[in-house]
Structure 1
């Protein structure tokens, strides 16, 4: 930086010295030309000064051209070449006494000066601007020369010869060049103006000298050695000094070009043209030479061409401006439309406020949440309209996120707030607010809010569910732990009846715990759509009777009568799922029926559908709860879960099952104390023929499905060897005891490697296998068995917490699949069928297994007493 400053200072000092030198030379020449010297001496000094000044100008411009680049190099090169040609013409005219040829050379040099000026601006001017400047130069030069011609003609003495055409041409080209220099200077940057002023001043001096030369040549005659020669010398020196300026090589353009106003140039041009026109009118009676007429025609043509060019240029600019305005308007309209579409497509509410807190815009989603139209909200203050404070007054709060965004420029995210609708309803929202900035200054704020009413409701339901599930889980666990603790302590050894009662309590509580887990898993699987439906044609009377049978014990304990209706209608449904649905509805009706009441089950055909209704005589359901009772964990009263039992999942499961069947379920109630009616629809199949209706259908339920354990007959006289594999030793102990009571030789192991070793150690009739185990799990064991030629045919019964549909890779490798918690009767039947089948011949049945329903079931008898 310091070196650059020193260099700039040195160049500036050098330029100042050049200026002083040129000034001293001109002053000295003036003294000689006006001093007491003879004409011959003044002529010789004048000719020498003109030649020396021309050489200096040519060398200075040439050196500057060599040190420049681009347009500026061409400009200084043209000026240097013009100086050389002008000097050559002058020398030829002096030596060969041929003034006309010298004037032609001089005119050529001036034309090169015009070319140099055209290249002088580092930023290329528009073609229209350059042509207009040239035409202005023609008008100015022609007008000046026209006036000069008439002055010469009118004032010339009789007999004076008309000067040559080149004498008139010299001031025309000089005037054109000087005018062009001025116009280029006004349209250049400030850094370029100093050298341009010097160049323009040089051409002005040339023009003055040439006009004087033309007038003197047309009058008394011209001779060197007068003050007129100062114009030529001064012109050469001004151009030479211009080439020494630091900005002569072209200053860098740091900003876009700003064109100077053409008004001043236009005024000067037309004032001179008007003066020439007045001279033309005033001397209309005089006999003007043909050169004057030619000049006048040239000036008129230049004026007309200039005006046509201006009109065409203005029209082009206007048309281009209109197109730009149209494009810009279309872009702005598209941006505004895109902004509006973006705001309207966002599901969250968005509004903006100005510095005074007034709403400037609001999208449709926000207005919908607030229960108003977007236009009705614009212009109102957010705080007084819907943004309430904690006390509900609607006044602006100092800690408000909108106030903080406007005054402090801070951003707030995930703020919980409450907005008030015009109807007085309060809407809980989650808000994100931030400042709206323009050039760094806060101009307003933008607020994005989301209605979290459903989230608040879900949080409330979740809290109630956690409370209910916590109670429901802890209650049976307490009973199980207490009963087992008493048995393990040995205090009931002398009281077998009380010990058996504790066993019964533990068994009943474990079943209650299993039903709760089943209900939660059921509702999640239904919501995910992963529950398989085994659709078939079933008699609806059988399904209702089966459900009523399962609820009969609960109804008897509550002193409630069940009145199921028999029907021969057939429905297309999953038998177990519909039984579960009717059981849930009956269980719900029994819980809320008074002692001595009756729960009725009716069936009615409605077109292609069959409507099943469960009516009770209980307290009824409020109108606002008729729909919500089918939601998860929802009950008419939160205290019902504690007083009457249940988790609030039974009706939600029923709705999921019915909707999966393509039907619908709803509730009706006339009011408090008048009972309620829960109804659902199923798709009808076909009407049962009369001859088929006489024989009652077989129940088809096994002891395993009713929850009892039967002693299954054995075909083999010797005990078959069964391997039980589970990572939980307590489960292994229970299953081994259960199977040993049936006469099997049971080997219990708790890991996969031990299971493979036990299977390879001797003949195996069947393997009861758990899948989820650490290390070598059940999947690995099953695959290893099927890949071993000696063990490939050993039947395997899977006992897992997952279903076959969740394990498609190994489900076909087992003979049976039971889902935990395992029903003892079903396990015994599955093992018996596997042992009887011997070598595996069929894949596992992936149809869904009957589930334990929500109604309490009687405890199975102790297998040891079977």
Structure 2
């Protein structure tokens, strides 16, 4: 609308009033916007906005002075309004140079100022050549006042553009608007100077004024809508490269030089132009010197940081090597292909190799002992492959390693995936020779077995005698005597079961308990176990339900049913009246997975693996309140592992625990593709189950 009015045939006085009022109005609006933003800012940002607010106020006062003085002036005088407007530009430059950056090295500010001098001086040199004949007739003070404004405008626009590339994102709209606004000022100021030189006078009310009005309006709008950074937020972003700024400066410089040479007579080149070009060239050389100095400082700083970081890394590496080499347990690492990448001295000594001899060799194929038949265990079921392929950590798994001299040693292994940003790079394996511990366990087991055998003989006689007394073989008993005999008989039966369980467990772990393997229907196994556990479930007011049953397994029927009864009895024992225990079996590849799930209290995460140990229960009071010897799950684990499967447990998301074990399918049955779900891969039959869910 203002552009239409200023281009119309309205009287000059009306157009002058409209233009002057618009300039004063947008200047005051920009002043208020900058002050508003300064109140909501802190630090250097507040100082910059305050300086811009003063600059806008000075501009408004200068334009008001033009209106009061008739908004008309000639080229021979310098008015108070000219001085006020020049002060405006000085304040604007001060505000731009104060604006905060992410980092401000000593040469940053000087280089930006020199960029402004190069661009502004180049443009002024071109102008001086083109209009020197008219400027030469002017008073020097007036000439400087008329031509300094475009230079300041260009300097501010250049600094705003350079700051735009290295400040916080929330400030970029303001600095971008500042650069565009002062570019508009520069255009209007150049047109103003040319008109003053050519015609000898200038007055407000022409389309030239639109550049000033648009610049003020753009700055006022952008400052009013700027985003104030939150406290603690970085002030800005580090300039990634000075290439853009250098390219801009040299493009303007070369373009100005070209314009100065094309179509200009030699006598137009005057002393002022020569001085301007000299200043510009010195500024160019100065900025490049500062750039080189800045890069040199950065290079030295980078080199120093690299040296310090390298020293720190060497120290950390030395400490890590010292720790690994000082550990008594064997430690070795493998890459994602299972090849050994490092071996500590303890591992090399235990395996009978030199450390360098193992580097680059397949760990599983090199020193993992084969099966008793002499056949190698499949590498895909090894804990190393599980750690690399599936990210499964193995804790306290028993294995056998083959030394370089052919001697087989029992070891306890912990394998952990080696990951970086979610990607598995390999695995780290820690192992310990447990030969001595195995010998101690053997002696302990023999002692327990001997004691159990010795206890069972007199215990049998005690049970027989108590049975005769309870049956009245020696005559009727008094009620009190009958109760005492019943208590003794129940306790002797419980002790007999405990001894039998210990003996079974010892024979199982010693491999002395025979297994009669046959092809069995998993459905029939579940049905038999559920029927036998039905009485216990009825007494506890717990229901049993078979969800799904499928598959055929190669196993010992009595031992599988014994395992299922142990798990069902455990689930029923820890279920509340009215709850349900579910059972199912599902074919998964070359194994059938059995599951017994309850809705009881669940298992603490740190006890999920411990409950499979002997005499282990979650709470010591369980033995008194729930009964049991704490051997049921240990026996179940031994049975499952003897049959070539594995057993584990986990907590259900909705409460309770789920016990799972796998049994192999007959070799004649073709394996089907296992669905990708919950079950960890099955390890070889030497494996001790990894931690998962378990009993209470």
TM-score (norm 2): 0.58
The corresponding residue for 1:227 is 207
Q: Distance in 2 between matches of 1:207 and 1:381?
A: 74
The corresponding residue for 1:183 is 162
Q: Are 2:389 and 1:407 equivalent residues in the alignment?
A: yes
Q: Are 2:118 and 1:145 equivalent residues in the alignment?
A: no
Instruction: Label 1:200 to 1:272 Cα distance change in 2 as closer, same or farther (>3 A).
Output: closer
Alignment check: 8 A CA contact 1:72 1:122 kept: no
Q: Distance in 2 between matches of 1:65 and 1:161?
A: 40
Alignment check: 8 A CA contact 1:384 1:396 kept: no
The corresponding residue for 1:168 is 147
1:110 to 77, 89, 95: 89
The CA deviation at 1:105 is 2.1
Instruction: Label 1:464 to 1:241 Cα distance change in 2 as closer, same or farther (>3 A).
Output: closer
The CA deviation at 1:296 is 2.1
Alignment check: 8 A CA contact 1:385 1:394 kept: no
The CA deviation at 1:315 is 0.2
State the SS of the aligned residue for 2:267: coil
The CA deviation at 1:374 is 1.1
Tell me the alpha carbon deviations over residues 465-522 of structure 1, each in whole angstroms, 9 at most, x when there is no partner: 9999999x99xxxxxxxxxxxxxxxxxxxxxxxxxxxxxxxxxxxxxxxxxxxxxxxx
Q: Distance in 1 between matches of 2:157 and 2:58?
A: 19
Structure 2 residue runs without a partner (length 5+): 456-696
Tell me the alpha carbon deviations over residues 80-137 of structure 1, each in whole angstroms, 9 at most, x when there is no partner: 1011222333444665676344323212211211222234447464443232222111
1:218 to 197, 220, 226: 197
Q: Distance in 2 between matches of 1:248 and 1:383?
A: 61
CA-based RMSD of the aligned residues comes to 3.3
How many residues align? The count is 445
Instruction: Label 1:67 to 1:357 Cα distance change in 2 as closer, same or farther (>3 A).
Output: closer
The corresponding residue for 2:278 is 297
State the SS of the aligned residue for 1:450: strand
Alignment check: 8 A CA contact 1:383 1:394 kept: no
Q: Distance in 2 between matches of 1:198 and 1:50?
A: 17
Q: Distance in 1 between matches of 2:81 and 2:136?
A: 28
1:425 to 407, 414, 432: 407
Alignment check: 8 A CA contact 2:32 2:53 kept: yes
The corresponding residue for 2:296 is 315
The corresponding residue for 2:12 is 39
The corresponding residue for 1:331 is 312
The CA deviation at 1:40 is 3.2
Question: Which one is further off, 92-101 or 416-425?
Answer: 92-101
Tell me the alpha carbon deviations over residues 388-434 of structure 1, each in whole angstroms, 9 at most, x when there is no partner: 23234334355533233233333333333221123222122222222
Alignment check: 8 A CA contact 1:143 1:273 kept: yes
TM-score (norm 1): 0.47
Instruction: Label 1:254 to 1:72 Cα distance change in 2 as closer, same or farther (>3 A).
Output: closer
The corresponding residue for 2:40 is 67
The corresponding residue for 2:683 is none
State the SS of the aligned residue for 1:286: helix
1:206 to 185, 189, 192: 185
Q: Distance in 1 between matches of 2:254 and 2:236?
A: 36
Alignment check: 8 A CA contact 1:58 1:83 kept: yes
Instruction: Label 1:100 to 1:265 Cα distance change in 2 as closer, same or farther (>3 A).
Output: farther
The CA deviation at 1:171 is 1.0
Instruction: Label 1:260 to 1:411 Cα distance change in 2 as closer, same or farther (>3 A).
Output: closer
TM alignment of 1:559-638, pairs within 5 A: none
The CA deviation at 1:56 is 2.2
The CA deviation at 1:210 is 0.9
The CA deviation at 1:448 is 1.1
The corresponding residue for 2:57 is 84
The corresponding residue for 1:450 is 432
Q: Distance in 1 between matches of 2:452 and 2:137?
A: 135
State the SS of the aligned residue for 1:164: helix
TM alignment of 1:471-482, pairs within 5 A: none
Structure 1 residue runs without a partner (length 5+): 1-27, 475-866
Alignment check: 8 A CA contact 2:334 2:427 kept: yes
The corresponding residue for 2:222 is 242
The CA deviation at 1:195 is 2.6
Q: Distance in 2 between matches of 1:313 and 1:171?
A: 30
Q: Distance in 2 between matches of 1:225 and 1:458?
A: 108
Q: Distance in 1 between matches of 2:135 and 2:54?
A: 40
State the SS of the aligned residue for 2:204: coil
Q: Distance in 1 between matches of 2:94 and 2:339?
A: 64
The CA deviation at 1:457 is 4.8
The corresponding residue for 2:351 is 370
1:269 to 236, 249, 260: 249
The CA deviation at 1:173 is 0.7
Bigger RCO (CA 8 Å, 6+ sep): 2
Alignment check: 8 A CA contact 1:34 1:227 kept: yes
The CA deviation at 1:159 is 6.3
Tell me the alpha carbon deviations over residues 2-26 of structure 1, each in whole angstroms, 9 at most, x when there is no partner: xxxxxxxxxxxxxxxxxxxxxxxxx
Q: Distance in 2 between matches of 1:132 and 1:147?
A: 23
Q: Distance in 2 between matches of 1:455 and 1:415?
A: 14
Alignment check: 8 A CA contact 2:78 2:145 kept: no
Instruction: Label 1:187 to 1:410 Cα distance change in 2 as closer, same or farther (>3 A).
Output: same
The CA deviation at 1:58 is 1.9
State the SS of the aligned residue for 1:219: helix
Question: Which one is further off, 309-318 or 98-107?
Answer: 98-107
Tell me the alpha carbon deviations over residues 335-359 of structure 1, each in whole angstroms, 9 at most, x when there is no partner: 2222222221111111112232221
Q: Distance in 1 between matches of 2:162 and 2:139?
A: 37
The CA deviation at 1:289 is 4.1
The corresponding residue for 2:29 is 56
Alignment check: 8 A CA contact 1:142 1:299 kept: yes
Instruction: Label 1:256 to 1:330 Cα distance change in 2 as closer, same or farther (>3 A).
Output: farther
Instruction: Label 1:261 to 1:319 Cα distance change in 2 as closer, same or farther (>3 A).
Output: closer
Alignment check: 8 A CA contact 1:411 1:432 kept: yes
Alignment check: 8 A CA contact 2:129 2:268 kept: no
